[in-house]
């Protein structure tokens, strides 16, 4: 059984799987895009804007994050996603305010921090302002970031591109409510100007300290919030002279506080992340090993026999019996049927164990983690 947790940050919601101890199987840590799409489907799966895996580090940091979009593609980073991951880690481990996690991502090492008020502040690293880093074919303009125009449906749009480990394009507009959001967003996401596709943010400047955006997320479409997008928007607005270096970025799901105090340094994001529920994946929702994974596993089995198997051929034959294939017509071991024994054990477990107990076997229950969070935050 595999436990999952559902978290959301400003309505941007994610399915999280705990794998820091290396306990997740290969068919989950290297997931099939079709399985990710099924898990994120709001009618036939759990539902979410993405899937987040908490994994062992590969570069000596505390942990590694992998995040997959609802369409099955892998994202380099996600600001709302890493806030949700940090909140999940704090809830799971009972961490106190001030705790930080050095987290490996495809965009580099990102460091979220648990704040006193329960929000998550994230050092998002330095923005990428060179065309090849984003990537985009837009040339770098006088403002210090890639800029250009594009004609869409008879309108000329001004574009400014920023990388936050993933690609973003910011499009200033006069009135967010009057634009053909879906048509422009979907067209810009796949525009040839962006070889790896792009996240799209339409920006209305309220004042120098208040920006409002609507988000078309690469691989997900319209979303209520985008943390990296809010950061990219502030960077673009600052360089274009539309805002100061610190602003509230209003999104459909709520506001984020974004600051870029040093033009040569990191962008910082502060915002909420909230637990929604925990659950256990039904067997029908568990992924099947992909052919290359089955081949890899078979190779390992063939090349690493145990000493006991090597010394006793009869034992080796018994242990290597594959009921699904070897016993299709008749049981090859009727006096000691492995399938019957396994089915009996499973039935005994299911009949004697409550769902809550099953969840507790997979990990801490939501009730326990919520109680721990309330005690930590000193709530009544």
> Is 323 a known active-site residue?
no
- For the chain, what is the radius of gyration of the CA atoms? 24
- Of these residues, 40, 78, 84, 231, which one is catalytic? 78
Cα–Cα distance between 102 and 111 in angstroms, integer?
5
- 79 close to 226: Cβ distance less than 8 angstroms: yes
- By CB atoms closer than 10 A (0-12, 13-18, 19+), residue 293 is middle
Q: What is the distance between the terminal CA atoms of the chain, rounded to a whole angstrom?
A: 34
Cα–Cα distance between 217 and 301 in angstroms, integer?
42
- Of these residues, 226, 231, 323, 337, which one is catalytic? 226
Three-state DSSP state, 275 = strand
Cα–Cα distance between 9 and 224 in angstroms, integer?
9
- 274 close to 9: Cβ distance less than 8 angstroms: yes
Cα–Cα distance between 317 and 315 in angstroms, integer?
5
> Is 84 a known active-site residue?
no
Active site residues: 78, 226
């Amino acid at each position: 059984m595999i436990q999952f947790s559902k978290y959301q940050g400003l309505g941007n919601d994610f399915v999280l799987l705990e794998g820091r101890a290396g306990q997740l199987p290969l068919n989950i840590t290297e997931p099939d895009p079709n399985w990710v799409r099924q898990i994120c489907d709001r009618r036939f799966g759990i539902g979410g804007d993405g899937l987040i895996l908490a994994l062992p580090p590969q570069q000596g940091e505390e942990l590694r994050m992998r995040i997959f979009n609802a369409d099955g593609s892998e994202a380099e980073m996600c600001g709302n996603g890493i806030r949700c991951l940090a909140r999940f880690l704090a809830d799971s481990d009972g961490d106190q305010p001030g705790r930080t996690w050095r987290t490996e991502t495809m965009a580099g090492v990102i460091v979220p921090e648990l704040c006193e008020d329960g929000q998550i502040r994230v050092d998002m690293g330095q923005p990428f302002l060179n065309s090849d880093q984003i990537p985009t074919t837009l040339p770098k303009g006088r403002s210090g970031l890639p800029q250009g125009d594009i004609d869409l449906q008879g309108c000329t749009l001004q574009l400014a591109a920023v990388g936050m480990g993933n690609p973003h394009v910011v499009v200033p507009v006069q009135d967010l409510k009057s634009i053909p959001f879906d048509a422009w967003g979907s067209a810009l996401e796949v525009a040839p100007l962006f070889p790896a596709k792009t996240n799209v943010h339409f920006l209305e400047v309220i004042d120098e300290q208040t920006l409002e955006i609507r988000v078309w997320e690469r691989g997900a479409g319209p979303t209520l919030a985008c943390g990296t997008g809010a950061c990219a928007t502030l960077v673009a607005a600052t360089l274009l002279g539309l805002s100061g270096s610190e602003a509230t970025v209003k999104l459909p799901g709520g506001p984020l506080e974004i600051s870029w105090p040093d033009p040569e340094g990191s962008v910082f994001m502060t915002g909420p992340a909230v637990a929604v529920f925990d659950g256990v994946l039904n067997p029908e929702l568990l992924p099947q090993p992909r052919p290359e994974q089955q081949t890899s596993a078979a190779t390992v089995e063939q090349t690493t026999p145990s000493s006991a198997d090597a010394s006793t051929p009869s034992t080796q034959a018994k242990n290597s019996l594959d009921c699904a294939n070897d016993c299709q017509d008749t049981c090859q071991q009727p006096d000691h049927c492995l399938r019957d024994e396994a089915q009996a054990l499973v039935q005994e477990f299911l009949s004697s164990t409550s769902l809550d107990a099953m969840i507790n076997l997979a990990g801490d229950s939501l009730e326990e983690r919520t109680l721990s969070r309330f005690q930590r935050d000193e709530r009544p």
